[in-house]
Each structure stands twice: as structure tokens, then as C-alpha cells.
């Protein structure tokens, strides 16, 4: 998201300054620091310092938080999405972490940015605590014009079938519309080959970023089977007992991508063929972090160095494609420039 906002500012000929960044993942903080150099970083759980109820007077912690920031044009947030993900078979739609969505809303109430963007998975629309509905009502009551909707990444040129739900609001724009953003940003669908074709000769086993994760002999055999039989779905006969001996709904797991189609949703498990359709279309391996980053629309100048493979996979897989941040931030920043509130 930060990458997209920065590029939107650059497209408008404006400088970019990140005043605050928060994440409990130390690897994500380190990468953000190397690429964006925010004024302040905080790795504490956000509920420890944005700790007041919606509509309540600011707590002492919140007063200290606000003093760090100064003026904010756009606030962007990506609350934990695992509790709303369709991949979560345990606490889906009723995970206590889902309530962290409202910490983003409280942050907006405290900071009062001109505009905001909150990202999550589409499942938040049906979350049991009603966090989206609460957020819309509260933010509208604060004077923001609000829009929310699901954005298919493939519609805006990301070579991936990922979908994300965005809640966007502004106090300076008259017409806030996710549907309009999608319509104006739509391009022809792009396959994974569009994102990764020039990386075919960049594989380097000595570099984490340009090599795939190691696979067990069993999984190597499964990958060989796909290529030897020119298959994209692994038959049940080659699957583990938990799939082979009973009906299952995981046809894409152990699957191979299609070179001329968009990639499936990239997750933190893209290094394992047992966690999704992550086998490379052309080579007997899963995606490299570089290839996954390309599918997530990260530019090659983004610095992913000094991070171990498992954590690298997680931060790439958990990221919002930068193109989405760009197309959503562009009209918000343009409005700030037109109103003379952004330098």
C-alpha cells in the first residue's frame, strides 16, 4: 500500500513523506524502513496505543500517538485478514483479531486525515462482528464521504486472480467511488508470463530472492509427475492420504500454474506446492520470491534484501499489490493537490 501511495504522489509531481508505520512483524518493519524511512516506527500491537473506544475522548496513549504524527493527508491500513479469509477453516468470520479493523477506524477518528484507505479480504463483508458496517456508520458520522467494494486485481492489470475489499473515504472529495476507480483503471487481463517472462534466466540457487524453496522428495516427485504427464492438477492417486482417501475441495493444491493465465492469489505459502497452485508453469519448482514479488506488482527497485526466506515469503504473500494502492491513492492525492492541502 505504501509503495502505491508513493508512486501516486510521484505521478502527480509531489514529494512523499511517510510519518508513521506500524507492524508487529519485525521483518516487515525492516523492509519498510529500508524502502520508505518513516519518521516513526512502532512494532507494538496497535491496540496498546490506539486503545480508546469509538467516539470516546482520547486516552493518554492516543494523545501521545497523535503528537508523533502532525498533519496526515492519507492514512492507509491493512488490518489482519486471516480471520476473514476463506482459507481459514477454524475461526473464519468470528476471529477476535477481526475487531482490529476497528482500531484502524479509531486511528482515523484520532488523526483526522483528509482521506483514508482500509484494505481487507472480501470476507470482511460477512464478518460476524459487523466491523465493516460499524466502520461505515462511524466514519460517515465523522463527516467522511465513504465508499467500499471488492476490487479484482486482474481488472487493474495485476497478473493475479486476487481480490481485495477496500473501504475508502475522504473529507475533501465530493465523489468517492471504488466502482469508478475500478472502471477508470481497468486494462486488458495480464497472464503470469507478462509479469515473469524476463526472469526465466535469472534463477540463482545462491540467492534467496532468485531461487525457490527446497521441497521434500515426496513433493519433488509430485512436481515431476505434473510435468511428465503434462498436467496442471495433481490426481488423487498422487496426493497424501488426507486428500486421496476422502472427498476434498483442494484441487489447486499441488497444482501447476498456467503460463498464459493470471496467477492464483499469492499467499505466504507460495514456496510450498502443498499450500496452493504454486508450481511454476515452465519449471519443476515453485515460484521464487522475485517472481512472486513481480506478481504482487512490486517494482524491481524495491529492496527485499537482508531477510530470511520464510519471512520474505510471508511479507510478499501478505502484501497488497502495489498497483491497487496506486489506483486508489491517485484520486485521493489529486483532490489534496486541487484543494491546496498537499505540498
Q: Would you name the residues annotated as active-site residues?
A: 81
Give the three-class secondary structure for 333: helix
Question: Residues of 49-74 as b/e, b for ≥16 C-beta within 10 angstroms?
Answer: bbbbebeeebeeebeebbeebeebbb
- Using the structure block, give the residue that is written with the C-alpha cell 488423487: 236
What is the residue-wise DSSP string for 147-169? EEEEEEGGGGT-SB--EEEEEEE
Q: Which three cell numbers stand for residue 89?
A: 477453516
Distance CA 257, CA 264 (A): 8
**DSSP alpha helices (H): ranges in 1-130?**
2-11, 26-36, 60-69, 101-111
Cα(38)–Cα(19) distance, integer angstroms: 5
CB neighbours (10 Å) of residue 230? 7
Instruction: Answer yes or no: are the C-beta atoms of 324 and 4 closer than 8 Å.
Output: yes
Question: Residue 192 in contact with residue 257, Cβ under 8 Å?
Answer: yes
Amino acid at each position: 500500500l505504501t509503495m502505491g501511495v508513493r508512486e501516486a504522489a510521484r505521478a502527480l509531481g509531489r514529494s512523499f513523506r511517510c510519518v508513521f508505520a506500524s507492524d508487529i512483524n519485525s521483518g516487515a518493519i525492516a523492509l519498510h524502513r529500508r524502502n520508505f524511512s518513516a519518521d516513526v516506527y512502532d512494532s507494538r500491537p496497535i491496540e496498546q496505543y490506539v486503545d480508546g473506544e469509538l467516539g470516546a475522548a482520547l486516552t493518554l496513549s492516543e494523545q501521545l500517538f497523535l503528537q508523533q504524527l502532525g498533519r496526515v493527508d492519507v492514512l492507509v491500513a491493512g488490518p489482519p485478514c486471516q480471520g476473514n479469509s476463506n482459507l481459514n477453516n477454524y475461526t473464519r468470520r468470528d476471529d477476535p483479531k477481526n475487531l482490529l479493523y476497528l482500531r484502524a477506524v479509531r486511528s482515523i477518528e484520532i488523526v483526522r486525515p483528509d482521506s483514508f484507505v482500509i484494505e481487507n479480504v472480501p470476507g470482511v463483508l460477512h464478518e460476524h462482528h459487523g466491523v465493516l458496517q460499524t466502520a461505515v456508520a462511524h466514519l460517515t458520522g465523522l463527516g467522511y464521504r465513504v465508499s467500499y467494494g471488492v476490487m479484482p486485481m486482474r481488472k487493474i492489470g495485476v497478473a493475479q486472480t486476487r481480490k481485495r475489499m477496500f473501504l475508502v473515504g475522504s473529507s475533501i472529495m465530493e465523489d468517492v467511488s471504488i466502482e469508478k476507480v475500478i472502471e477508470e483503471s481497468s486494462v486488458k487481463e495480464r497472464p503470469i508470463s507478462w509479469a515473469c517472462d524476463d526472469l526465466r534466466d535469472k534463477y540463482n540457487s545462491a540467492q534467496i530472492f532468485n531461487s525457490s524453496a527446497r521441497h521434500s522428495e515426496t513433493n519433488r516427485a509430485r512436481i515431476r509427475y505434473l510435468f511428465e504427464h503434462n498436467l496442471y492438477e495433481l490426481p488423487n492417486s498422487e496426493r497424501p492420504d488426507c486428500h486421496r482417501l476422502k472427498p476434498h475441495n483442494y484441487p489447486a493444491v499441488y497444482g501447476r500454474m498456467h503460463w498464459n493465465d493470471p496467477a492464483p492469489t499469492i499467499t505466504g505459502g507460495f514456496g510450498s506446492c502443498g499450500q496452493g497452485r504454486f508450481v511454476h508453469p515452465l519449471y519443476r519448482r515453485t515460484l521464487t520470491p522475485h517472481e512472486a514479488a513481480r506478481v504482487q506488482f512490486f517494482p524491481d527497485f524495491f529492496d527485499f534484501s537482508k531477510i530470511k526466506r520464510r519471512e520474505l515469503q510471508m511479507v510478499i504473500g501478505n502484501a497488497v499489490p502495489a498497483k491497487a494502492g496506486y489506483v486508489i491513492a491517485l484520486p485521493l492525492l489529486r483532490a489534496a493537490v486541487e484543494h491546496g492541502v498537499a505540498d
